[in-house]
Structure 1
Amino acid sequence: MVSLTAEKEPMELRVAAPYLITQSWVDYTPEQHAVWAELVGRNMPQLRDHACREYLDGFEQIGLREDELPDLAAVSERLAPRTGWQSTPVSGFLPADAFFEMLAARRFPTTTWLRSREAMEYTPEPDIFHDVFGHVPMHAHPVFADFLQQYGAICARLTDARDLERMGRLFWFTVEFGVIRQDGEIKVYGSGLISSHGECSRVLAGGCEVKEFELDAVLDQEFQTSEMQPVLYAVESFEQIYEAMRLAESRLG
């Protein structure tokens, strides 16, 4: 595959523009930094053993800290030279067209609010812990970065609801709940597993079926966002999901 990270001109955001905000890092409270530190402290011991090496490398490369919330501008400063991606603050949940536009522009839409201590286990809407801790380290990996940008560019052009639904399944079973075989073991890389200690523990303990990644099976696999996943699909490499995404594009419409 040919890397796309050398693109120079930033793409103008039109649909997503109304949702862009500025993160006010200085306004985070000591309690919020403490919640972040507790969340990271709960997850990292498990991830050091069971996250894929690309995630762990990315965590270090983008300068995430375990004791305080991330400054998105500083994260982007370290991330952009590696893959062209930025962690871009947004006001909240985005409509699909704005979300895909941002991915196509290598701008990951990142919420700036943090769950409360009362919602440590689960929050129905993504927060900065899910978005940054769960997603952004993988954006430092060139192949995964290219996959995500091309995924956004393809979906931004789609108008058929059935095509969008099938591509949504590809996203779910890779970006959100992806697992990969490394050194003979199942390792996690999907943000839904990375940022959820409970769900990650369940998968690693054999609490769901892990099948070999096969594109047609993934595109046909329904899922419920509010339930634990009964089946996941393990890839052998990140080149495999990039090629799967290109193959899926050829089957649309």
Structure 2
Amino acid sequence: MNDTAHLETPPATTDWTIPQDWAHYSEQDHATWDTLFARQAKLLPGRASNAYLRGLDVLKLSKPGIPDFEELSERLMKLTGWQVVAVPGLVPDDVFFDHMANRRFVAGNFIRRPDQLDYLQEPDVFHDVFGHVPMLADPVFADYLVAYGQGGQRALSLDALKYLGRLYWYTVEFGLIAEPEGLRIYGSGIVSSFAESKFALDDASPNRIAFDLARVMRTDYRIDDFQQNYFVIPSFDELLRVTVETDFAPLYAGLKEKRDIPVGQIMPDDRVISVGTQEYAKKKAAG
């Protein structure tokens, strides 16, 4: 999800898009991308979902240097009708949802510094393109994001952005999927992070819980550290089905009558895949 607290002046275009200006990237910028790409590409086989790995391949993201959005969009359009458009940073929610509902993925056109390889608070071109775009090559997940964008437009009028934002967080950003070979990662916040790519699957600390739409929408999350809960979908088809078949207006009304579920808490009705020790979170809280 997006917020614009740090953006003082919107760009001239009403949709907030700007030229990527691929020529402005320095050799160091391209080297930073290559370093990040090589590290993740080595780590992700056997960890990332089949859909993500296929997208990485068919979109030719292994080509050295930061991808040119025009070339990337041309490949993506042929597969699922999506394109990648550059923005200066986080954009207003209504703009974000409009782009998504119309198969335009907004991506920052800047890249982190070499001393920020492991963490950057604001999403950069590596997070946005390496993390998100391979999944847009999957037709089912691509349709899910269109449905999400359309749902976001409705959520704005229903004062329900908090709940829809949690759905984005626990699927698009930090989702796990159960595949025949085992649990795999597909969320962009995980696949673009060297440390969390290992933590999400290997560490005993977090809870891993079967996906339930209402449960996810009630659940708080950590924005500045590893997650204490990961939600596991059975398939992208099921994620899309639940999204398009649910009547969200009464769902939101019901959620507003219930308390939010704290980070890391397991509920009696949860179908828990693995109970976490929460050891990582406890150590961080203890200082």
> Which residue of 2 is the match for residue 11 of structure 1?
none
> Which residue of 2 is the match for residue 239 of structure 1?
237
- The reply on whether 1:62 has 2:59 as its aligned counterpart is yes
Greater Cα offset, 130-139 or 159-168: 159-168
Question: Pick from 100, 108, 111: which aligns with 1:103?
Answer: 100
> Which residue of 2 is the match for residue 146 of structure 1?
143
Equivalent-residue separation in structure 2 for 1:16 and 1:149 (angstroms): 22
Which has the higher Rg, Structure 1 or Structure 2?
Answer: 2
Q: Secondary structure at the match of 2:46?
A: helix
Equivalent-residue separation in structure 1 for 2:150 and 2:214 (angstroms): 21
Question: Pick from 192, 196, 201: which aligns with 2:189?
Answer: 192
Q: Does the CA contact (< 8 Å) of 2:15 and 2:95 recur in 1?
A: no
Greater Cα offset, 27-36 or 161-170: 161-170
> Match for 1:174: what amino acid?
T
Matches within 5 A, 1:22-171: 22-159=19-156, 162-171=159-168
Runs of 5+ unmatched residues, structure 1: 1-14
Q: TM-score, normalised by structure 1?
A: 0.90
> Match for 1:129: what amino acid?
F
> Match for 1:195: what amino acid?
S
> Which residue of 2 is the match for residue 5 of structure 1?
none
Runs of 5+ unmatched residues, structure 2: 1-11, 254-287
Q: Which portions of structure 1, spanning 4 or more consecutive aligned residues, are displaced by more than 2 angstroms?
A: 15-18, 157-162, 248-253
Q: CA deviation at 1:91?
A: 1.6
Q: Does the CA contact (< 8 Å) of 1:21 and 1:89 recur in 2?
A: yes
Equivalent-residue separation in structure 2 for 1:136 and 1:98 (angstroms): 19
Q: CA deviation at 1:162?
A: 4.9
Q: What CA deviation, in whole Å up to 9, does each residue of 1:30-79 have, x standing for no partner?
A: 11111111101111111112100100111111121252111010000000
> Which residue of 2 is the match for residue 205 of structure 1?
202
> Which residue of 1 is the match for residue 248 of structure 2?
249
- The reply on whether 1:181 has 2:141 as its aligned counterpart is no
Q: Does the CA contact (< 8 Å) of 1:40 and 1:66 recur in 2?
A: no
Q: Secondary structure at the match of 1:56?
A: helix
Greater Cα offset, 199-208 or 126-135: 199-208
> Which residue of 1 is the match for residue 280 of structure 2?
none
> Which residue of 2 is the match for residue 230 of structure 1?
228
> Match for 2:228: what amino acid?
P
> Match for 1:226: what amino acid?
D
When residues 16 and 155 of structure 1 are mapped into structure 2, their CA distance, relative to the original with a 3 A threshold, is farther
Equivalent-residue separation in structure 2 for 1:45 and 1:191 (angstroms): 16
> Match for 2:169: what amino acid?
W
Equivalent-residue separation in structure 2 for 1:156 and 1:198 (angstroms): 34
Q: What CA deviation, in whole Å up to 9, does each residue of 1:162-197 have, x standing for no partner?
A: 521111111111000011011241100000001011
> Which residue of 1 is the match for residue 215 of structure 2?
217
Q: TM-score, normalised by structure 2?
A: 0.79
Equivalent-residue separation in structure 1 for 2:155 and 2:233 (angstroms): 26
Equivalent-residue separation in structure 2 for 1:23 and 1:51 (angstroms): 28
Q: What CA deviation, in whole Å up to 9, does each residue of 1:74-109 have, x standing for no partner?
A: 000000111110011112110111111110111000
% identity of equivalent residues: 36
> Match for 2:72: what amino acid?
V
Q: CA deviation at 1:252?
A: 3.5
Equivalent-residue separation in structure 2 for 1:169 and 1:19 (angstroms): 24
Equivalent-residue separation in structure 1 for 2:145 and 2:101 (angstroms): 8
Q: Does the CA contact (< 8 Å) of 2:152 and 2:164 recur in 1?
A: yes
| Larger helix proportion of the pair | 1
Q: What CA deviation, in whole Å up to 9, does each residue of 1:202-234 have, x standing for no partner?
A: 112133111111122111111121121000111
> Match for 2:221: what amino acid?
F
Equivalent-residue separation in structure 1 for 2:31 and 2:178 (angstroms): 34
Greater Cα offset, 22-31 or 110-119: 22-31
